[in-house]
Amino acid sequence: MHTRSRRSLTRLPALLGVLALLALMFGTGAAAAQTESDKTYVIATDVTFAPFEFQNEQGDFVGIDMDLLKAIAADQGFKYTVKPLGFNAAVQALQSRQVDGVIAGMSITDERKLVFDFSDPYFDSGVQMAVAKSNDDIESYEDLRGKRVAVKTGTEGAMFADSIKGKYGFTTVTFDDSASMYDDVKTGNSVAVFDDYPVLLYGIAQGNGLKAVGEKEAGNSYGFAVSKGQNAELLTKFNAGLANTRASGQYDEILDTYLGEGAQQAQGGNTFFSLLKDSFPLLMKGLWLTIVLTVVSLAIALVLGLVFGFFRVSTSRILRGIGVTYVDIFRGTPLLVQAFFIYFGIPAALDFQMPAMTAGIITLSLNAGAYITEIIRGGIQSVDKGQMEAARSLGMGYLPAMRKVVLPQAVRTMMPSFVNQAVITLKDTSILSVIGIAELTQTGKIIIARNFESFNMWLIVGIFYFVIIMALTKLSDRLEKRINA
């Protein structure tokens, strides 16, 4: 017994080495690809900040920022790829050097100048307050006393609201996207919203259910950002291209496209079925990505679960300790924190780039693997100890006895729990939207940012999840019956 434990222990470094090699192949391979293409910059942006950046019905990212970046790149002759992350994730990606720059309606402030280098201002913004169309009680800041106001993280509206809430006695609640912020006001949970005025007025014209109240407040200017002391060449190109587009009149044409007369046409008239028809191709892409993430992560998690599950029932105290540590870490921390740590923290600490898809799979695999470890441990321990003793008395080794006698009986006990974990992992893919993976939930958010059809869109997304989860459940029921037959 002691000899087998030592042999198992010697396999551990090899296993961990393989896992580390896989992570390095995914991560550093992408980093090498980036270095080989010095002229291709990765630019992060928001996904729900119309009219500056949003996704049109063809799935292309458009808006003032996107069109301006395209014009500047053409003028200066550099290549770039856009990484739609959401504002918070975009800023963190820039800090961890996962991207080369950020253009996302980012206000130039003294605090941000300590961390980032900014381009020349490309848009002078401001702040506007709005309330629900049916609300005639809120006419000034004084009417907000004792009430709740919605803001979006990182916007000028949020900064302005924080600066006056003490004076006018209201509280704020923060959202990561504009559509959710507007919905909070429409449902009456908040009485008002402060937002960057062009974004708010564009949303009102598109039918977000709000109306502007009071005068516009002066605000900061928007700028293109790079990490402090990094990508000076890119910043120089952006400034030169911005000056050229202003001089040629192309800059004004871009603004008129989204802010000029006739630009803000309310879509309206979106029924459930017309919205489903228009959004179906994008939703299917999001669903496919959700399924890929789930299947690949579960396959890796099953391997991890088997390895650490055996560790948990091992006679070796060291192996049991390793198994307990792994389970406690990944069951004891939120999946969101794990995603941020793996995608932003580790690459920043080790100075390499990791694709979001790789980080998502690693996160889901490690998290699901911890739960599958406990499922396997429980399943093995549910088999009567006499089964193992009988097999060993017949001369079978520990691993053959486990594989041929114990595990076949344990699988019957574990099957319902495996199915439950598969469903949980499928739903957990939605959390990966925070690192810019456009799975099904993130796709729904992006579509809502364009048309503000929250109820119908979330109903459609919910139906997609329901259909795939029910299909998975029915399939597992049939497998379970065949196993128990």
Question: Structural domains in the chain?
Answer: 2-28+272-484 (1.10.3720.10), 39-122+223-259 (3.40.190.10), 124-220 (3.40.190.10)
Q: Is the pLDDT of residue 23 over 50?
A: no
pLDDT score of 29 more than 70: no
DSSP state of 143: G
- Tally of CA atoms within 13 A in the half-sphere of 400 that contains its CB: 8
Distance from CA of residue 68 to its chain's centroid? 25
Q: What is the pTM of this model?
A: 0.73
pLDDT per residue over 99-113, tens digit each?
999 999 898 988 899
Q: With the C-alpha atoms ordered 292, 298, 301, 307, is the resulting torsion angle positive or negative?
A: negative
Q: Please, how many CA atoms are within 13 Å of residue 409, restricted to the half-sphere of its CB?
A: 14
pLDDT at 243 over 50: yes
Mean pLDDT on 13-25 = 43
Helix axes 317-331, 356-382, angle to 10 degrees: 130
What's the confidence (pLDDT) of residue 206?
79
Interatomic CA distance for residues 462 and 469, integer angstroms: 10
List pLDDT tens digits, range 357-408.
999 999 999 999 999 999 998 888 888 777 777 877 777 877 777 777 777 7
- What pLDDT band is residue 12 in, cutting at 50, 70 and 90? very low
Q: Is the pLDDT of residue 261 over 50?
A: yes
How far is the C-alpha of 96 from the C-alpha of 102, rounded, in Å? 12
Higher pLDDT, 5 or 338: 338
Q: Cβ neighbours of residue 83 under 8 Å, at least 6 residues apart?
A: 42, 43, 44, 45, 90, 93, 99, 356, 436
pLDDT for residue 259: 84
Instruction: Tell whether the model's pLDDT for residue 264 goes beyond 60.
Output: no
What is the percentage of the chain residues whose pLDDT exceeds 70? 89
Write out the DSSP string of 94-132.
HHTTSSSEE-SS-B--HHHHTTEEE-S--EEEEEEEEEE
DSSP state of 433: G
Specify the higher pLDDT residue, 17 or 89: 89
